[in-house]
Amino acid sequence: MVGLRFLVPSIEVRVLVGQQSASRKRVYVCSLCYTTHMKLLLTSAGITSDKIADALVELAGKPFSEMRILFVTTAANTSVDDKRWLTENFFEFTSREPARFDIIDIAGLPSELWKKHFEAADVICIGGGDEAYLSRIFVEQGVKDFLVSSLGDKVYVGISAGSTVAGIFTPKGLNVEMYGEECEADHGIGMEFFDFVLFPHLDSPYFPKITLENIEAKSDRFTSKVVAIDDFVAVSLNNGEIKYVGDGVWKEYLA
């Protein structure tokens, strides 16, 4: 299937803000054709709650005990830091006792090797880290083309950079302003599996510029829908339908 994005001239910005609860849900339709045959779960910090875990079960159509999960750690390669955040992401999966939990870093690997791991998985989780580096590796390895052809019967789970790389990147220059001077201004391209810019880690102390006020102040510089999520909510995309799950805070700007 060829992905087509239908662009509409920006006329106004509408703001939708929500905090998910059992009695309150909002559903929107995504206009990017890739998602009509894909299932994605976009998170800020991983499977941080049972509600987000339940959303994965719903997308996968099977319990954790039957899931074969592949965790791709590539985005974490460039940072010299305490990697307990990464092992916590592992535990969020392994504590739910999946049928299999595989780990791979695809940087520099022959495609015939990493593709075997991808093909054997029901759930492909792309972990967090360096978005620009991850984007470059994905382009070099041809990951997008492989996923387009294979995600019809798999679920893509993103964590932080693993979520943002699947969509539309921020306009050139804004990445520096939002995430700091260490980020590249021209940081590659996203895979455009969905037609909005995603800001994870809303109001996180580790990312002090990712606030509702700061995003709203820059909203006129975006040419597509913008979605901000905190660490306790996820975006579920199921064959073109989008909904928010979890107990966290999210906000949309519709261009």
Helix, strand or coil for residue 147? helix
- For residue range 60-85, what is the model confidence (pLDDT) as tens digits? 999 999 999 999 999 999 989 999 99
Residue 106 is predicted with a pLDDT of 98
Give the CATH number of domain 27-199+233-249; options: 3.20.20.70, 3.40.50.880, 3.30.450.40, 1.10.510.10. 3.40.50.880
- For residue range 107-141, what is the model confidence (pLDDT) as tens digits? 999 999 999 999 999 999 999 999 989 999 999 99
Residue 61 is predicted with a pLDDT of 97
Shortest CA distance to 129 belongs to which of 200, 77, 71?
77
Mean predicted lDDT score pLDDT of the chain: 84
**Which residue ranges make up each domain of the chain?**
27-199+233-249
Which residues is 101 bridged to in the sheet? 69
Q: Which residues, 6+ apart, have CB-to-CB distance to 34 below 8 Å?
A: 1, 3, 148, 192, 193, 194
Residue 36 is predicted with a pLDDT of 57
Helices (H) and strands (E) in the chain, counts: 8, 12
148 CB burial (10 A radius; 0-12, 13-18, 19+): middle
- First vs last C-alpha separation in the chain: 26
Count of C-beta atoms within a 10 Å radius of residue 10: 12
- For residue range 3-60, what is the model confidence (pLDDT) as tens digits? 333 333 332 333 444 544 433 333 333 444 455 579 999 999 999 999 999 999 999 9
Residue 171 is predicted with a pLDDT of 76
Query: How far apart (Å, rounded) are the C-alpha atoms in residues 38 and 34?
Result: 7
Question: Model-level pTM?
Answer: 0.85
Mean pLDDT of 191-202: 93
Percent of the chain with pLDDT over 70: 82
pLDDT bucket at 188, cuts 50 / 70 / 90: low
Tell me how far the alpha carbon of residue 68 is from its chain's centroid: 19
Yes or no: say if 93 and 69 are a contact pair by the CB < 8 Å rule: yes
**Interhelix angle 131-141/143-150, nearest 10 degrees:** 80
